[in-house]
Amino acid sequence: MSNTSLSGRTALVTGSSRNLGSEFAKGLARRGARVVITHKNSADDANLLLKNLFDLNGLNNIAVHGDLSEISSAEELVLKALDEVQSIDILVNNLGPFIIKPFVELSSTEFQYYWNTNVGAAFACSKAVAPSMRSKHWGRIINVSAGSAFIRNHSIYSLAKSALITLTESLAVELGPAITVNAIAPGQIFESADEMSSFDPKFNETALAQTPLGRFPTRREVSDIAIGFCESSFDIVTGVTIPIDGGWRLRSS
């Protein structure tokens, strides 16, 4: 891909001060986009990332502080960003905390938090950027679902990530032709394998044994595929979800 393929575009990536979100931000910057990152409790990480982004694109990238766990505050965060950058061409709805606590043990507060941060924030941010994208007759919304969307033992996380795929398809219908809306569904990511072990010590070993390609995708691989939706070669593609899991979803047990 050309390093300037997204020159002149402005991208917003939610939950992007670290981990996969920061990789999306860097991938967009490498292609020439100006990047808006968001954070809630990680100002130091956000400031460090801004320095990295400047090294990649030489632009005035910005960080916006805010809470995405409530629909109204998520919309306010995007409007705050728009006040500074005027328009947003690319939205990556990356935020989506993980939990596998059984439904019968979830409090109503927990249910609402994980639903809002995974689905509600994507809805609110997409709604907020749509007018800007429509005014320029071009926009790309990329939702980050997960392999958990295809299984039924990850509780509210499975429910939310499955709903995000439906939201992707519905928004694709509503927002076309100017805006395309697509999603990715990463399986276990290599750099986050240790974190997953804290939830399920046997998950990584079992998942690798069930994965045809025999390894987990890296954050860079996931980012490159997602950002591909912004390239001209994907102009005809909308409403799809690409699994990025080395074939894990095809497991026989």
The full set of domains in the chain, from first to last, is 10-243 (3.40.50.720)
Q: Which residue has the higher pLDDT, 36 or 198?
A: 36
Of the candidates 24, 113, 157, 248, the residue annotated as catalytic is 157
Per the CB < 8 A criterion, the answer to whether 47 and 17 are in contact is no
Distance from CA of residue 57 to its chain's centroid? 21
Contact 76, 37 (CB under 8 A): no
Angle at 5 between CA 130 and CA 185, to 5 degrees: 60
Q: Looking at residue 214, what is its pLDDT? A: 95
* Count of positions (residues) in the chain: 253
Mean pLDDT of 230-250: 97
Does the annotation mark 114 as catalytic? no
Instruction: State residue 253's pLDDT score.
Output: 62
> CB neighbours of 18 closer than 8 A, spacing ≥ 6?
42, 45, 49
| Cα separation, 75 vs 129, whole angstroms | 9
Tell me, what amino acid is at 90?
Answer: I
Q: How many CB atoms lie within 10 A of CB 131?
A: 11
Annotate 176-188 with DSSP letters as a single string: TTTEEEEEEEE-S
157-186 per-position pLDDT tens digit: 999 999 999 999 999 999 999 999 999 999
* CA distances (Å), origin 226, targets 57, 140, 146, 196: 19, 11, 13, 22
Task: Specify the pLDDT at position 196.
Answer: 86
Q: Please say if the pLDDT value at position 128 is more than 70.
A: yes
pLDDT of residue 252: 65
Residue range 186-203: mean pLDDT, rounded: 90
Mean predicted lDDT score pLDDT of the chain: 95
Dump pLDDT digits (tens) for 80-114.
Answer: 999 999 999 999 999 999 999 999 999 999 999 99
Enter the DSSP assignment of 216. P
pLDDT number for residue 89: 98
Question: Which residues 6+ apart lie within 8 Å of 199 measured at CB?
Answer: 98, 100
